[in-house]
């Protein structure tokens, strides 16, 4: 079930939390929603799930407007809210049974759905405990289980791995990837490696506006104006190598990194690649190219550049 966001805005008093954003998410796609604190992620997610009303614009789910068909469309959405509100006095099994009936799961299917969620979310060992007795990570698993209890086509997950230990993070990411093959998933996170590990596409929002939309690879390409490579050249004299590098037509600048081992950082001219020139230079001079490694722009740097203003 596809989601189309069209010129969506939301104001709280004088503050514009979400400012005319438009994007689309397709079935089988996991979209990572990134942005600094207060950027408007949770507000957008709350509007998509019908948790709060739309300010301006519209949201189409499976081609139908949330404005007109909101109540009906809610059936297709599973939502893990930011602070994962749970009934602490309820045992896990009772809570999930309660959520299933609230979500309209047929009576004769409720117990099998609850058992499936307990298995999928790794709650087997803790299933008879009250939610209040669970660790933060297990509460997060209960939150995920309630979001998926009615087998929704769409999953909206606000910081799903918050509070999980590194082993649990790996498992939950695997689970989300698995679920994401058939469903439409939007997840928000502050953990940048998480988006790369889990998501097909990244949307970065800052001050209510979308500032980037694409795969990690596309964002890197857009961010890297100039190619950057690290090289190490054996058998030559440092100063001679540096002079020769500076004469290459594709090179903007060559920065020495280590004079003893002849390591350099090579910045190519805009739109050019210096790899071939470097290789040919070494062949001509009889030097050995010990290392030639392209340096990728880190997602952290892209995020900082786009959101630090």
Ligand X SMILES: Nc1ncnc2c1ncn2[C@@H]1O[C@H](COP(=O)(O)OP(=O)(O)OP(=O)(O)O)[C@@H](O)[C@H]1O
Task: Kindly tell me which of 52 and 289 has the beta carbon lying closer to ligand X.
Answer: 52
Task: Kindly tell me which of 7 and 293 has the beta carbon lying closer to ligand X.
Answer: 7
Does the protein bind ligand X through residue 41 (CB under 6 A)?
yes
Task: Kindly tell me which of 83 and 112 has the beta carbon lying closer to ligand X.
Answer: 83
Task: Kindly tell me which of 15 and 309 has the beta carbon lying closer to ligand X.
Answer: 15
Does the protein bind ligand X through residue 43 (CB under 6 A)?
yes
Which positions from 80 through 99 interact with ligand X, judged by CB under 6 A? 82
Rounded to whole angstroms, how far apart are CA atoms 134 and 45?
A: 26
Rounded to whole angstroms, how far apart are CA atoms 297 and 229?
A: 11
CA distances from residue 105 to 81, 99, 100 in whole angstroms, order as listed: 20, 9, 5
Q: Please give the span between the terminal C-alpha atoms of the chain, in angstroms, as a whole number.
A: 35
Residue of 3, 17, 99, 229 interacting with ligand X (CB under 6 A): 17
Does the protein bind ligand X through residue 103 (CB under 6 A)?
no
Contact segment (CB under 6 A) with ligand X among 41-49, 101-109, 138-146, 265-273 equals 41-49
Total binding residues toward ligand X, as defined by CB under 6 A: 12
Residue of 3, 25, 35, 287 interacting with ligand X (CB under 6 A): 35
Rounded to whole angstroms, how far apart are CA atoms 36 and 189?
A: 10
- Length of the chain equals 309
- 14 secondary structure, DSSP code: T
Contact segment (CB under 6 A) with ligand X among 38-46, 133-141, 267-275, 282-290 equals 38-46
- Collapsed DSSP state (helix, strand, coil) of residue 5: strand
- Of residues 151, 128, 300, the one with CA closest to residue 219: 300
H-helix or E-strand spanning residue 273: none
Task: Kindly tell me which of 19 and 29 has the beta carbon lying closer to ligand X.
Answer: 19
Residue 144 contacts residue 99 (beta carbons within 8 Å): no
- 26 secondary structure, DSSP code: -
Task: Kindly tell me which of 35 and 143 has the beta carbon lying closer to ligand X.
Answer: 35
Does the protein bind ligand X through residue 28 (CB under 6 A)?
no
Can you give the binding site for ligand X, defined by CB under 6 A? 12, 15, 17, 35, 37-43, 82
């Amino acid at each position: 079930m596809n989601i189309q966001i069209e010129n969506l805005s939301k104001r709280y008093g004088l503050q514009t939390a979400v400012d005319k954003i438009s994007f689309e998410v397709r079935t089988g796609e996991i979209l990572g929603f990134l942005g600094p604190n207060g950027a408007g992620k949770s507000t957008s997610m709350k509007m998509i799930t019908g948790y709060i009303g739309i300010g301006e614009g519209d949201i189409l789910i499976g081609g139908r407007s949330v404005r007109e068909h909101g109540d009906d469309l809610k059936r297709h959405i599973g939502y893990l809210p930011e602070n994962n509100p749970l009934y602490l006095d309820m045992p896990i099994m009772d809570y999930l049974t309660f959520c299933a009936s609230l979500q309209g799961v047929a009576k004769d299917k409720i117990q099998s759905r609850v058992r499936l969620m307990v298995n999928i979310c790794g709650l087997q060992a803790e299933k008879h405990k009250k939610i209040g007795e669970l660790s933060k990570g297990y509460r997060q698993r209960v939150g995920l289980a309630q979001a998926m209890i009615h087998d929704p086509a769409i999953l909206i997950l606000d910081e799903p791995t918050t509070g999980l230990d590194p082993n649990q993070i790996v498992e939950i990411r695997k689970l989300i990837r698995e679920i994401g093959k058939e469903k439409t998933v939007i997840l928000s996170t502050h953990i940048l490696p998480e988006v790369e590990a889990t998501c097909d596409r990244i949307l970065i929002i800052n001050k209510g506006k979308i500032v980037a939309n694409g795969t990690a690879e596309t964002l890197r390409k857009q961010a890297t104006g100039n190619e950057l490579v690290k090289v190490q050249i054996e058998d030559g004299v440092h100063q001679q190598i540096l002079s020769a590098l500076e004469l290459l037509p594709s090179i903007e600048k060559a920065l020495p990194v280590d004079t003893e081992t002849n390591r350099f950082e090579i910045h190519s001219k805009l739109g050019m690649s210096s790899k071939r020139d470097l290789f040919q230079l070494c062949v001509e001079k009889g030097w050995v190219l010990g290392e030639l490694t392209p340096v990728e722009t880190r997602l952290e740097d892209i995020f900082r550049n786009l959101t630090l203003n």
